[in-house]
Amino acid sequence: MRVFRRISRYIMQEDLLQPHLSVDEAMYAASQLKLGLNLDPKQRQATVDEILDLLRLKKAKHTRTEKLSGGERKRLSIALEMINNPPVMFLDEPTTGLDDLSSAQCFSLLKALAAGGRTVICVLHTPSARLFHMIDNVYIVAEGQCAFQGKGQEVIPFLEMSCGLSCPKTYNPADFVLEAACGEYGEHDVERMVAAVENGRCHRWTPDYQHQSPARTTSIDEDSQQVVECSDMSFNDANHLLKHDFGFALSGWDQFKVLLCRMLLQVWRDSSHLTLKLSLHLALGIIIGGMFYDMGNDGSKTMFNFGFCYTCIIFFLYIPMMPVLLQWQPMEVLRLAQFLFMCLMVSLVSESMGLAIGSTLGIVNGMFMGPVLSVPLMLLSCYGMGSGSADIPILIRIGMNLSYLRYGLEGIIVTMYRLGRKSLPCPIDYCHLREPEALLRHVGMENVQYWQDAVLLILSFVGLRLCTYVLLK
């Protein structure tokens, strides 16, 4: 099974393409991932051009994928999987959303690929009569059982012999057999069809089936016996292949570099989205910076500084909130590095949580579950600060320990008020929290260690990523 997964490719019904890459760029990036980086650039481009020419995409070579037609997008999805020449290809609804002409062209290409020695397996619902007769072998499933397998031209004789059903000459055979498989012409038609092919154990149906005795219906003809022998030989070949290395063409680091370059190119080309993100971050940075302006070194406004740290955790706007807007914060390399690291880890853990939710739930449920989990995490991140943990119920304390936002908040507060920070200037007669340690005691963080929070955030990140991987697998 491990070998089969490596030699087969699955093309989904939805075309998941990179919208801001051209056809040639998408193919080139895929060739780097699948063929490695050591291949000569001219040879790589020749391979890409050969596949594009085979799938009639040469004219759209420099067209962005977002501007391709439905048929071109489907052909590009097939082309991306053909780069390393897989012997087995699975396609889920390759003609969905295509007109009759595009569907026929797509099927003609698949037929040509199959004629070239590949095994092409398609899942279809009610194909047209033209497409139905282009299929070499048909496998019909009804109620979880095999209702027919064989050539498309044999479907009508099969229904006549097994169920006594006659298809009108002007009727699509595919529609007729699917209606029969759904019980439209009789409640027991499905049972008769399944019995006629022995639920798939009869490898080849022949019109003289009705003349065979029950004892002979379970037998397999000579051609089928050859298939079995071939299967045994393939199994032995698979055991032989297991001895070879079927690793990826690129190392993890090289894959990261290729994907990073591809992502940066798309971000740069998506100018509207990039402009919107930069404007949003800049605007929020100005607003939050104005709210906490000139409070970083004021002993009478220490709690306002605490509120700023909490705002950083919630909005993750550490880049716009750097020295230009936040006045009088200690400008030290170590302190700045620790601040950035905490904000970065909170962002990564938040992204990982979103990936974990998105890998199991749909769009609607995911949009609902995200806020449902985020709000308690935000509340628990600052719950009980200053009141002592002895007065907090055990269940709330467990929730506080599970809130990664709390670890990020603790790390930022400790970063800003430790590392040898001196007493804050006090513009009034008395400032209760002018001493950095006084604030830490006031919020119950006198025993908090920065690196402990950092390790817990890293573990949260790794745990959520592993959870996402398991859920996707």
CB 91 within 8 A of CB 60: no
The answer, yes or no, to whether residue 114 has pLDDT greater than 80, is yes
Do 334 and 236 fall into the same domain?
Answer: no
Q: Are residues 196 and 284 in the same domain?
A: no
Question: Are 228 and 280 part of one and the same domain?
Answer: no
- The per-residue pLDDT for range 206-225, each reduced to its tens digit, is 555 444 433 333 333 333 33
If asked whether residues 195 and 338 sit together in one domain, one would say no
Is there a domain that residue 250 lies in? no
Output the average pLDDT for the chain.
75
Residues 338 and 295 in one domain: yes
- Residues 149 and 298 placed together within one structural domain of the fold: no
What CATH number is attached to the domain comprising 151?
A: 3.40.50.300
Work out how many domains the chain is built from and give that number: 2
Identify the domain boundary among 241, 258, 292: 241
Which of 187, 220, 241 finishes a domain?
241
For residue 281, being part of any structural domain is answered with: yes
Q: Which domain holds residue 294?
A: 270-472
| Residues 318 and 206 occupy one common structural domain | no
Task: Assess whether 387 and 302 both reside in one domain.
Answer: yes
- Do residue 276 and residue 213 come from a single domain? no
pLDDT (mean) for 108-118? 84
Most confident by average pLDDT, 78-82, 269-273, 285-289, 440-444? 78-82
Does residue 93 sit within a domain? yes
Question: Is residue 253 in a domain?
Answer: no
Residue 259 domain-assigned (yes or no): no
- 235 occurs within a structural domain: yes
CA dist 155 → 125, 149, 213, 230 (Å)? 16, 9, 21, 26
- Position 397 pLDDT exceeds 90: no
Q: What is the pLDDT of residues 327-381, one digit of tens each?
A: 445 557 788 888 888 888 888 888 888 888 877 776 667 777 777 777 777 777 7
Residue where a domain stops, chosen among 225, 241, 257:
241
- Whether residues 423 and 468 share a domain: the answer is yes
